[in-house]
A and B are shown apart, each in its own frame.
Chain A
Amino acid sequence: MSTLAIDKAGPSRKVKYGSMSRDRTWALRWSYFFLVLFAIFFLTPPVYMLITSLKSSAEISAATNPWWVFHPTLSNYVELLSSNQFLRFFWNSSIISIIVVIVTMMISIPAAFALARMKFWGSATLATGVFLTYLIPDSLLFIPLFKVLGGVQELTGITLLNRWYVLVFIYPTLTVPFCTWIMIGYFASIPKELDEAALIDGASWLQTLTRIFIPVALPGLIAATIFAFTVSWAQFLYPLVFTTSVDQLVLPVGITTTLIKGDVFNWGQIMTGALLGAAPPLVIYAFLMDYYIAGLTAGATKG
């Protein structure tokens, strides 16, 4: 009797109605778990920096709880922001980064347009070549670059070494290949018909670039700009090698060379300087993020 009843009850396996939403719930739980893990992992150093920057040297050297500020003070900030030296580093970094971004864009955009759109003999090989130059590490390049610039200085008599503006010539070797490469990708994603339409409408190549490609690829351009700015802002090895006088230093090198005196680490000011140095890229990201994400190309063609 009982077996018969079970047979009539249908499949013994419990049917999981709504298993889709259950899967989703679990997927979300795992996502949150890992996201929180990563957030903790990546945010701990800046938070630690912030805590340390608010402490006096005495409190830092005292063996109190490193994760808590007992006597918060802004003295580190006041000291740094009123120091001409630090402001000089800041100024050097800013002017170099801005010039590098402009130079990079002036080179990368036309280069990417030519490589992406004007099909000429060897354009594909050239595009790959541009990317390959990016793969050469700067730690390998700085010695030959030093020799080259030293040679130029000897030949022309123009002082290049130990001047902040030498970095304006050197940084593009890092930024131009990568920016060109991502711009090629963005330009290539613009439908071919768009430049053909412009061509028929009477636009020259330059007009097609400035009036169609640049506005349409603006998100890509901004991504490249952010990249170029971040690279030149955070660059450490080249300025360390090419500039030595205190008034020619940029922020990352300046902080480490002037705030570490022998084996004395002025931790409070180092942390403060690093935090202040991280602020400009952060602000730029915050303002341009919307553009960065926005898909301006939507609606160009079907869909």
Chain B
Amino acid sequence: MADVALRKVVKRYDDVEAVRGIDLDIADHEFIVLVGPSGCGKSTTLRMIAGLEDISDGDIMIDGDVVNDVPPKDRDIAMVFQNYALYPHMTVAENMSFGLRLKHYPKAEIKARVTEAARLLDITDLIDRKPKQLSGGQRQRVAMGRAIVRNPKVFLFDEPLSNLDAKLRVQMRIEIKKVHQKVRTTTVYVTHDQVEAMTLADRVVVMNKGRIEQIGTPNELYHKPATRFVAGFIGSPAMNFLPCRLEDVGGTLQIRLTDRIAFALPPARAARYNALPRTDKLLLGLRPEHLTESHAHLEPGVESFDTVLDVTEPMGMETLVYFGLDGTPVCGRVNPNAGAKDGAPMRLAMDLNNMHLLNEATGVVL
């Protein structure tokens, strides 16, 4: 077990910079998830930590040692691949013990480690089967087993659940979390699925276009996103972004969304945004759960307005409603009993205590 550090790590392919200077400190035992859209450099970063890609610039340290020029086999890491990459001609036990056999471990210890890992992953019955005879979920377990038996300093996961169906993915997600709780090995996990990132990570690293957008705990990213990218990427359905501007009306700071709709900001928010130039083009960031049906008694900071719904999506425990505000599509989450219907007018409430204000030009959350 060890900590991992990345210092100004750059990856260049000919003229293209896939990773543009990444700084990241991963503590011992920590579960870090790299998340971002495809082509954001997350897999490349992982492969550089593994040693499968050369580093164009910067340093990668494992346990305090710079490993830039250390080959993968000497980095003491284990990796789980998206397509499992099991050796098709070996049994499950042989697959798991391959690395140990190469290092000439005593037979008894190999057997003990394989048995223990198989027990941990609940694949004891499958130990003599070939990968061909296993289901996708079982293959994924074997791939994890192969990593666990090595008892490495760092686990690397490269989109390990992407090839599984939705139900199995949720199940394996929990398995991975359980395994990490037991073995406590430092883990770097790459995914494009923000739900996976949120549920698994101690800290999430959101990447975009080869750079780190934000590092934080799942809750920090959700409630205090630093940029428009993070705000829009984390959370499903995604956060709404409504063009707006600030105005002073009779001594109170007001946010104007459309010609018709303008609300006074709650005092805490007014104090925070008061210094902003009134001419700036701004965006109001509001998560769908803060756009709900209106009540007779609204809390302070919650403002109601009338709109006409375009489409509704009953999800069972909630209903998603879609409507337009001055041409901007907006999504809200209402109680399934609130009577939302396609094409019907509805009175909605906007919780401004949970609003975010963004600079439209820079995308920075203010």
A and B: interacting chains: yes
Which residue of A has the minimal Cβ distance to B147? A200
Which residue of A has the minimal Cβ distance to B89? A215
Residues of B within 8 A of A (CB): 50-52, 71-73, 77-79, 81-89, 98-99, 102-103, 130-134, 136, 139, 146, 150, 163
A selection of 12 A-B contacts at a CB cut-off of 8 Å is: A193-B85, A197-B79, A197-B81, A197-B85, A197-B146, A201-B146, A203-B102, A207-B102, A296-B89, A299-B132, A300-B87, A301-B86
Query: In the complex, A283 Cα to B180 Cα: how many Å?
Result: 55
Q: Which of A194, A211, A296 contacts B85 (CB 8 A)?
A: A194
- Which residues of chain B are within 8 angstroms of A39 by Cβ–Cβ distance? none
- Which residues of chain B are within 8 angstroms of A299 by Cβ–Cβ distance? 86, 88, 130-134
Q: Are A191 and B132 neighbours in the complex by a CB distance under 8 Å?
A: no
Q: Are B83 and A200 neighbours in the complex by a CB distance under 8 Å?
A: no
Report if A155 contacts B (CB, 8 A): no
Which residue of B has the minimal Cβ distance to A199? B72
Query: In the complex, A301 Cα to B132 Cα: how many Å?
Result: 9
Q: Are B85 and A196 neighbours in the complex by a CB distance under 8 Å?
A: yes
Q: Are A193 and B87 neighbours in the complex by a CB distance under 8 Å?
A: no
Q: Are A216 and B88 neighbours in the complex by a CB distance under 8 Å?
A: yes
- Which residues of chain A are within 8 angstroms of B139 by Cβ–Cβ distance? 302
- Which residues of chain A are within 8 angstroms of B134 by Cβ–Cβ distance? 299
Query: In the complex, A216 Cα to B50 Cα: how many Å?
Result: 24
Q: Are A201 and B88 neighbours in the complex by a CB distance under 8 Å?
A: no
Report if A262 contacts B (CB, 8 A): no
Residues of A within 8 A of B (CB): 191, 193-194, 196-204, 207, 211-212, 215-216, 218, 296-302
Task: Report the minimal beta-carbon distance from A243 to chain B, rounded to whole angstroms.
Answer: 42
Q: Are B86 and A200 neighbours in the complex by a CB distance under 8 Å?
A: no
Q: Are A201 and B130 neighbours in the complex by a CB distance under 8 Å?
A: no
Which residue of A has the minimal Cβ distance to B84? A301
Q: Are A191 and B86 neighbours in the complex by a CB distance under 8 Å?
A: no
Main secondary structure of the interface of A (DSSP, over half): helix
Q: Which of B50, B51, B85, B130 contacts A301 (CB 8 A)?
A: B85
Q: Are B85 and A300 neighbours in the complex by a CB distance under 8 Å?
A: yes
Which residue of A has the minimal Cβ distance to B132? A299
Task: Report the minimal beta-carbon distance from A18 to chain B, rounded to whole angstroms.
Answer: 35
Task: Report the minimal beta-carbon distance from B192 to chain A, rounded to whole angstroms.
Answer: 17
Query: In the complex, A58 Cα to B77 Cα: how many Å?
Result: 79
Task: Report the minimal beta-carbon distance from A202 to chain B, rounded to whole angstroms.
Answer: 4
Q: Which of A203, A204, A300 contacts B86 (CB 8 A)?
A: A300
Q: Which of A191, A204, A207, A298 contacts B83 (CB 8 A)?
A: A191
- Which residues of chain B are within 8 angstroms of A203 by Cβ–Cβ distance? 73, 98, 102
- Which residues of chain A are within 8 angstroms of B132 by Cβ–Cβ distance? 298-299
Q: Are A216 and B72 neighbours in the complex by a CB distance under 8 Å?
A: no
Q: Which of B81, B88, B102 contacts A296 (CB 8 A)?
A: B88
Q: Which of A194, A204, A302 contacts B87 (CB 8 A)?
A: A194
The 4 closest A-B pairs by CB, nearest first: A299-B132, A193-B85, A201-B99, A301-B83
Q: Are A200 and B78 neighbours in the complex by a CB distance under 8 Å?
A: yes
The residue among A194, A196, A202, A203 with the most chain B CB atoms within 10 A of its own CB is A202
Q: Are A201 and B102 neighbours in the complex by a CB distance under 8 Å?
A: yes
Task: Report the minimal beta-carbon distance from A209 to chain B, rounded to whole angstroms.
Answer: 13
- Which residues of chain B are within 8 angstroms of A216 by Cβ–Cβ distance? 87-89
- Which residues of chain B are within 8 angstroms of A191 by Cβ–Cβ distance? 83, 85
Q: Are A199 and B52 neighbours in the complex by a CB distance under 8 Å?
A: yes
Q: Are A200 and B84 neighbours in the complex by a CB distance under 8 Å?
A: no
Task: Report the minimal beta-carbon distance from A276 to chain B, rounded to whole angstroms.
Answer: 37
Taking A299-B88, A301-B83 as contacts, is the C-beta distance between A200 and B50 under 8 angstroms? yes
Which residue of B has the minimal Cβ distance to A301? B83
- Which residues of chain B are within 8 angstroms of A207 by Cβ–Cβ distance? 102
Taking A200-B72, A200-B73 as contacts, is the C-beta distance between A300 and B131 under 8 angstroms? yes
Task: Report the minimal beta-carbon distance from B293 to chain A, rounded to whole angstroms.
Answer: 44
Query: In the complex, A291 Cα to B194 Cα: how many Å?
Result: 45
Query: In the complex, A200 Cα to B79 Cα: how many Å?
Result: 7
Taking A202-B99, A302-B136 as contacts, is the C-beta distance between A212 and B87 under 8 angstroms? yes
Query: In the complex, A101 Cα to B324 Cα: how many Å?
Result: 74
Q: Are A199 and B88 neighbours in the complex by a CB distance under 8 Å?
A: no
- Which residues of chain A are within 8 angstroms of B163 by Cβ–Cβ distance? 302
Which residue of A has the minimal Cβ distance to B140? A302
- Which residues of chain B are within 8 angstroms of A298 by Cβ–Cβ distance? 88, 132
Q: Which of B77, B79, B88, B133 contacts A300 (CB 8 A)?
A: B88
